[in-house]
Structure 1
């Protein structure tokens, strides 16, 4: 009788172990399935986001400002050569260096949203740059009037960039691209600082000296 009792206990233990193991396997399988589903859902969500009109507009606008920043580097070099005062020449040189950083930052933004950096021809910046070239042609070399006019031309560039980066940063936040938004907001702040510095240069003495010219 003792032997039969022992066998019964062993059978119960085996059955319990088998049930427990089966439950564990079932739980692991269920967890794995949930993880796979979550990954699949995330992939589908990312795919849907990339095909959304807002994402396409966001990428198109990035390409627009990417073109603009590259064009601005060349324009600033011409403005630097045309400027009269050393202070304004240095300001344009500093802005060139800053613009190169902005281009590098934009390339990081493209990478963060899994897109390839590309330029899209920007008619707006082409027009603003052309206007700046006309300023150089229509003002006297070595005059303070030219510097005053160049500052206004440069600020038109800044205001275009401020509007572009401000809008792009907000779109990035809306779509959940937080790291991209941080980069865009950093550039936005630097553009605003440059605009303020140009105003300071103009109001300190250039505008007043230009007013005295015949």
Structure 2
């Protein structure tokens, strides 16, 4: 009688041979074909968005140089210079992300960042050289760039995690953190050095 009970247990779901067979099936289903991944809609969108931000980062490098030259205070000039150097690192980091997912780094025109940069150029034309008002306006323009980047990198990092691109996700999250830090630093500069003096200008 005891032997019969033992045999029943060995054939219950989750134990013995049936469980081993089930486990093998799960492993087989988990295998992802590289070519299938590349044709998946989400992967295509991910790559397109990478090309978009890759274009944006390169455009931002040039824009930051103009903003640095136009800025009044040394604090803001240094902030723009530091961020330009950081942005060059972000470009290199994006190239690593492309490589990690077996894609070629390419730029796709980003209309959003072009519009934000054009707005910054208009601020330079419409504000007085050497004024704190110009610096206050430049900070707002720069933070619009930061917020676009924060939204983009935050979304891309989550997509990378979803698709199992863990190393790419780590790189994207590192850039996201640096963009958030830059945005915070710009706010600090505005509140500490610029906004009050700008309010006093005639």
The answer to whether the superposition gives a TM-score over 0.5 is yes
- Aligned partner (choices 95, 103, 121) of residue 115 of structure 1: 103
Q: How far off its partner does 1:213 sit?
A: 0.1
Tell me the TM-score normalized by structure 1. 0.80
The equivalent of 1:99 in structure 2 is: 87
Written as runs of structure 1 = structure 2, the 5 A alignment for 1:1-214 is 45-214=33-202
Determine helix, strand or coil for the equivalent of 2:33.
helix
Determine helix, strand or coil for the equivalent of 1:126.
helix
**Which of structure 1's runs of 4+ aligned residues deviate more than 3 A?**
none
Cα deviation 1:126-153 (Å, max 9, x = unaligned): 0000000000001000000000000000
Partners of 2:151 and 2:142 lie apart in 1 by 14
Tell me the TM-score normalized by structure 2. 0.85
RMSD over aligned Cα atoms: 1.4
Q: How far off its partner does 1:187 sit?
A: 0.1
Partners of 1:204 and 1:149 lie apart in 2 by 15
Q: How far off its partner does 1:46 sit?
A: 1.4
Partners of 2:41 and 2:49 lie apart in 1 by 12
Partners of 2:126 and 2:162 lie apart in 1 by 44
Cα deviation 1:35-58 (Å, max 9, x = unaligned): xxx8xx95x621111100000000
Partners of 1:206 and 1:126 lie apart in 2 by 26
Cα deviation 1:67-101 (Å, max 9, x = unaligned): 00000000000000000001100000000000000
